[in-house]
Amino acid sequence: MSASGLLIGQVALTALVHVAFAFAIGSALFERWLAADGALARTAPSHAAWHRARASLMAAAFALVLAEGGWLLYEAGAMTGAGVAGGLAALPDVVGTTHVGHAWCVAFAGAAWLLMAALLSRGGRFGAGMFWLGALASAAGTAAIGHAADAGIPSLGWAMQAVHVLATAVWGGVVLAGGLVVLPALDTSITRIALIRLADRVSNVSLAAFCVVLISGLVGAQRGLGGSFAALRGTAWGHVLTLKLSLVLLAVVLGALNRTSALPRLRRSASTLDAHTFRNVLHLEALVMVAIFVTAAVLGLTPPGHT
């Protein structure tokens, strides 16, 4: 396989890891929110939405584990320069003797733990605690693979990047799972109250997670730029970062539109039109989130601006 083919594969699988992780986080949150509102009962109007959240969680957790495995194969191929076939033979050495391999083991173990917790959990705080333990390990391992770990582990840069990965997954997860999977199942008048409750939770959690993303992201950007805005204009890393920031700004505008306009109208009227408006804006925000995760994957494979 050519170098360009390996690079495309790395970007695609890195983006898939990000999207699957976010989907799993968002779906788990929706599953708990709906269960707390009584959606577990088969006769509940919102049961179909809970079932979608549960199915989305399972699919995303499986996809995350598979994507982590595929990512390591392509990473090994790039490290050895021998393509995917050569990378397969080099996997034991990559896992056992390299920093990337060790960090990947943490991320993969977190993903596998997250999957097992999702499969075996029957609700309750213990199951939720096990799930979030896996999510934290996955975020920590993912952060250790990237440029943030150049200063060593543990380090402030690595810790801030782990927080950034997890907060981005929460923000992106509620938008992706809500806009693409769960809220479309609440499209009737008898589920309107459940829709409004979930819309409130999506808006509040998104805002809180974005604040954490903003703070941790600024720290990471300052580190990558080396304290000089010249790198923002004159390097490939700076150009990709600018694109990512533009997409983030677009997502923020869409989220603010829902929070300040569509959601207040939906609370007042509970009308089908306002419900569709909120859902459609969230759906568009979800598509922007996918683009953000793809751009983040490219940014992670681009040498930092300060280099």
Domains, the chain, ordered by start = 3-300 (1.20.1630)
- Lowest average pLDDT, out of 17-31, 59-73, 147-161, goes to 147-161
Long-range contacts of 207-212 (CB under 8 A, 24+ apart): 207/255, 207/259, 209/167, 209/168, 209/170, 209/171, 209/174, 210/167, 210/171, 210/252, 210/255, 212/163, 212/164, 212/167
Tell how many helices (H) and how many strands (E) occur in the chain: 11, 0
Q: Is the pLDDT of residue 295 over 90?
A: yes
Rounded average pLDDT over 50-75: 94
- Which pLDDT does position 92 carry in this prediction? 85
Q: What is the pTM of this model?
A: 0.93
Closest listed residue to residue 172, CA positions, set 251, 55, 244: 251
pLDDT in tens, 99-158: 888 999 999 999 999 999 988 876 567 778 899 999 999 999 999 887 666 666 777 888
- Which pLDDT does position 235 carry in this prediction? 84
Residue 284 has which token pair? 């568009």
pLDDT in tens, 82-97: 777 777 778 888 888 8
- Which pLDDT does position 152 carry in this prediction? 64
- Which pLDDT does position 151 carry in this prediction? 64
- Which pLDDT does position 26 carry in this prediction? 97
- Which pLDDT does position 123 carry in this prediction? 59
Rounded average pLDDT over 280-299: 96
pLDDT in tens, 161-216: 999 999 999 999 999 999 999 999 998 889 999 999 999 999 999 999 999 999 99
